[in-house]
Amino acid sequence: MRQSSLVVVANRLPLDDNAAPDGACEWRRSPGGLASALHAILQPTPATWVGWAGGVGPAPAMSDIGSLRLRPVSLTEDELRGYYEGFANSTLWPLYHDAVQQPVFNRDWWETYRMVNQRFADAAAEVAEEGAAVWVQDYHLSLVPEMLRDLRPDLLIGFFVHVPFPPPELFMQLPRRVELLRGMLGADLVGFQREQAAHNIAQLARKLLGAVVTDDAITVEGRTVRTGAFPVSIDVAEMRALASRPDVVGQAKQLRHDLGQPKRVLLSVDRLDYTKGIEHRLTAYSELLRDGYVKVRDTVMVQVAVPSRERVESYRDLRDRIEGEVGRINGEYGRVGEPAIHYLNQPFDRSQLAALYQTADVMVVTPLRDGMNLVAKEFVAAREDGAGALVLSEFAGSAAELEQAFLVNPHDVDGLKETLLRAMEAEPADLEARMTAMRRHLTRHDILAWARAYLTALDHTGRLAEQLPADTPRRRVPRQRSAPPPGKDQ
């Protein structure tokens, strides 16, 4: 394996689960998700990506994707269960999302998590050239920065947390809190979606490690780690180009026709996860139907719930509850050929998503807690017509940037109902003003701007950022095959 000056380390490789006819690898796209976010940055940039290829057993041989080299990491069945399904997604994920679901503390999972993190660190050390920059991604790999520093002190190490980072009173519940915190602080720069998260880790470092902290730095045991907020974004030019493609525009018109040409279409696109607020949203919509504020013939709701972590029991239970509630609502309020809710538990490719975004009159993005939520940004980028309303949870990271959305507390079902009605009844001029302001913000703060800001903060010189592709106002977007579920990105 050749060595690289820029190495990305993430839980998953950015690969489509389906091989092309000639056996070539293709970039993996999905609604939201890490691979989708990094697509515009890394596909044309000389770099190496270290990650799990999916499946269990020995790591397969991988072809490059353009100038991106792939270094697969293997997982056994037991490791997948303990590291990924266990500590990462049954302990850290719920804890980091305000304990919406009770975290599970299983002592056996920790050792598996530590062992797998060491394997990722070893792989990164192997492929990084002298003095390279290694960019470690997200909560699955919290121990890798410190492990990598022990192996290769010559490296420049960045760590970015895509999910929320909890307040000290929640993090303190972790039985292995000190080891996890030390692992993260092995980086030179720890980045978060929001400033509050950087404040949270500083408080923890002071309390648990006796560190000296400032607004943007943590000094512990003679070494200073910088921290900061770098809100992740999307490839705005790519989404605009996709949304304007004639076949996508035609697909949007056909979708509207297939839905019965209703006056209003409400759309939600989520990974099937208990943090996404799907049950609260269904309750609100059901009560609007019950009280006569919404009529089935005039208004239709489309809920896309992409399958996710189906081996984890809590996710299977959630799917059963949601499917039962959708069935109840359709049974009570639907008509023959006119369901109240069109529920789709399947993955969609990006052209289908762009068509759905253009079909929606109201995009409903109401997670109970979310690090960012890129679906909200994709919807705004896709709507160059200036139409459409975005109802957005206050607890999504994107709410700090998309201030012109109809912001709502998703825990407040009555408030959610009122906000949905406001969005549905808003004047076209009001909607256009809101969407124009949000699109202007996204144009200035796209995925390339995010990567440049982070990498420049990491190396202080701008040389890393110079490796990134130049700005391109619009990109031609080829037709793509269906993407796999975004849950497997995380």
Structure confidence by residue, pLDDT tens digits, 61-70: 888 888 889 9
Could you tell me if 137 and 162 are in contact, meaning their C-beta atoms sit under 8 angstroms apart?
A: yes
Is 39 designated active site? no
Q: Which of 370, 445, 446, 489 is catalytic?
A: 370
Query: Collapsing DSSP states into helix, strand and coil, what is residue 33?
Result: coil
Could you tell me if 461 and 448 are in contact, meaning their C-beta atoms sit under 8 angstroms apart?
A: no
Q: Is 321 exposed, middle or buried (0-12, 13-18, 19+ CB in 10 A)?
A: middle
Residues of the chain with CATH 3.40.50.2000: 4-233+446-489, 245-444
Mean of pLDDT values over 133-148 = 97
Mean of pLDDT values over 102-118 = 97
What CATH architecture does domain 245-444 belong to? 3-Layer(aba) Sandwich (3.40)
Q: Which of 51-55, 206-210, 372-376 has the lowest mean pLDDT?
A: 51-55
| Element housing 226 (H / E) | strand 223-229
Q: Is 340 exposed, middle or buried (0-12, 13-18, 19+ CB in 10 A)?
A: buried
pLDDT of residue 467: 81
Q: What are residue 362's DSSP bridge partners?
A: 266, 389
Largest Cα separation within the chain, whole Å, is 70
pLDDT reading at 228 higher than 90: yes
Rg of the chain (C-alpha set): 22
> E strands, 434-489, where?
none
pLDDT tens digits along 260-305: 999 999 999 999 999 999 999 999 999 999 999 999 989 999 999 9
Q: Which amino acid is at 310?
A: E
Is 280 designated active site? no
Compute the distance between CA of residue 328 and CA of residue 203 in angstroms, rounded to an integer: 46
Q: Which of 162, 199, 280, 445 is catalytic?
A: 162
pLDDT tens digits along 317-329: 999 999 999 999 9
pLDDT of residue 33: 64
For residue 325, give both structure tokens: 């509630």
Nearest to 441 by CA among 395, 398, 396, 390: 398
pLDDT band at 469 (very low <50, low <70, confident <90, very high): confident
Say what the pTM is.
0.91
> E strands, 13-57, where?
47-52
- ∠ CA 171-97-324, nearest 5°, is 140
Q: What are the residues whose beta carbons fall under 8 Å from the beta carbon of 8, sequence distance 6 or more?
A: 38, 42, 47, 48, 49, 50, 134, 135, 137
Compute the distance between CA of residue 182 and CA of residue 142 in angstroms, rounded to an integer: 9
Distances (CA, A) of 69 to 7, 28, 64, 80, 177: 9, 14, 5, 24, 34
CATH fold label, 4-233+446-489: Rossmann fold (3.40.50)
pLDDT band at 4 (very low <50, low <70, confident <90, very high): confident
pLDDT band at 466 (very low <50, low <70, confident <90, very high): confident
pLDDT reading at 474 higher than 50: no
Nearest to 375 by CA among 386, 363, 385, 387: 363
